[in-house]
Amino acid sequence: MDTIFGRNKEEHPEPIKAEVQGQLPPWLQGILLRNGPGMHTIGDTKYNHWFDGLALLHSFTFKNGEVYYRSKYLRSDAYNCNIEANRIVVSEFGTMAYPDPCKNIFAKAFSYLSHTIPEFTDNCLINIMKTGDDFYATSETNFIRKINPQTLETLEKADYSKYVAVNVATSHPHYDSAGNILNMGTSIVDKGKTKYVLFKIPASVPSVPEKEKKKSCLKHLEVVCSIPSRSLLHPSYYHSFGITENYIVFVEQPFKLDIVKMATAYIRGVNWASCLTYHKEDKTWFHFVDKKTKKEVSTKFYTDAMVFFHHVNAYEEDGHIIFDIIAYTDNSLYDLFYLKNLNKNFEENSKLTSIPICKRFVVPLQYDKDAEVGSNLVTLPSTATAVKEKDGSIYCQPEILCEGIELPRINYDYNGKKYKYIFATEVQWSPVPMKIVKFNTQTKEMLHWGEDHSWPSEPIFVPSPDAREEDDGVVLTCIVTSDPKKAPFLLVLDAKTFKELGRATVDVEIHLDLHGMFVPEKDLKTETE
């Protein structure tokens, strides 16, 4: 199994100058910082799943028309322990690791006991988060890892659970206009309750002496509110959540973690991923929390069973909350990324059994309480419906915006507001994106960019400094090539026309990544600060 997925990638910690073709906009100054799995074999051991690989950070730095590439493995405790042992000794979600058989029997018995609520990995391979002036590599465990965005050096490890009672947290936080972070995590059977916790990390702490500022943002983390899980031992899995001007949007899907199975997984010799189950006969529940009162809207809104990972955006209009997500009818997506399925012929063999669908739900928060049972309460022009049931709950059906897109991004200045454009990868039935698209949610028009043997990453929109319209700016995507004769490159598209402005080619192998962010030059501390 030596496809582009399973091959270990070399790191390139020293900057490599890329060859630039075309015209990059002179205002594009800063760093595109991205994260994803880069090493899947350690000694004689292999990870089972592509999402388990050790985190490899990489970046493209734009400086005065020149572009520099670098990459560096996150020096997590997981990385260091595995490399030192020359085998996988730290468990990941899809791969359970066992202690070295040479270790004495007492240590072995002890580690069995300590695995009940597992000590999770700090292999933060999913995304990058900005907290004040600091940057962290993140995944979905309680650990995040501070990094230097310029050198990609790994700094200290931080643990959410020291500041808030969560065992897992999302890798898709939201930022408000002041730079404060909102994120969610699950608190599992804490004081007899399982709940979804919304917490806020301030962007700055004004009244703190300089020397203490370093650790202050996380130390001042505050819980905004919590939503009780519908089930004590089967909390919902979620990868992201939504936000509007006044509300938090949380979707409790019937894709659930089985806590009892998780606690015994180690002893049973199975991975934690096997403890995730999709209950297709269950409903999917919508929760809306008022940001000001911190109270949940009392009406029960629900839809049919679905599995989803990514919220696109959400906003309010005329007493309704409108939110867009990318959903599946089953959980085949995760299974496709087991490395045994990503073999030489995976493009023919690996087929999703459910295509991703971009769904728009229109939820009437303010509706006529005397409306008849069976009536549609949506008063906006949309094919989405919200029907009042006998018991007072409201059954929502979405409008289908489009099919076959994933890894959605927007102009983040429009986050939580009425918006037009989604930038995404096009996936159809194969798990690997072949194109990137710009989709207009209002006209349903779709623009594409694609090239033979080219696999694009999540497209990131960067607004131009004098932007007037939502699509004034550029779209950046890293292109990995499946043709050994073609070097990988960073592509820069005009976000309006979706035509190529330029590309920066590097003559080293780059890895397929997951998520990341563009950091404008003004947000980077100079080395002396």
Q: Detail the residues annotated as belonging to a binding site for Fe cation.
A: 172, 239, 310, 515
CA 145/CA 142 separation, integer angstroms: 10
Q: Per-residue DSSP letters for 489-512?
A: EEEEEETTT--EEEEEE-SS----
Residue 79 CA: distances (Å) to CA of 111, 118, 149, 154: 19, 18, 19, 11
- Which residues are annotated binding-site positions? 172, 239, 310, 515
Residues with Cβ < 8 Å from 264, sequence gap 6 or more? Answer: none
Enumerate the β-bridge partners of residue 460: 476
Q: Per-residue DSSP letters for 95-159?
A: B-----TTS-HHHHHHHHHHTSS--------SEEEEETTEEEEE-SBSEEEEE-TTT--EEEEEE
Residues with Cβ < 8 Å from 150, sequence gap 6 or more? Answer: 31, 61, 524, 527
CA 149/CA 156 separation, integer angstroms: 14
3-state secondary structure of 486: coil
Here the contacts of 96-103 (C-beta below 8 Å, separation 24 or greater) are 96/265, 96/266, 96/269, 96/270, 96/271, 96/272
Residue 219, φ and ψ in degrees, nearest 5: -60, -25
Residue 262 CA: distances (Å) to CA of 56, 138, 140, 265, 291: 27, 22, 15, 5, 33
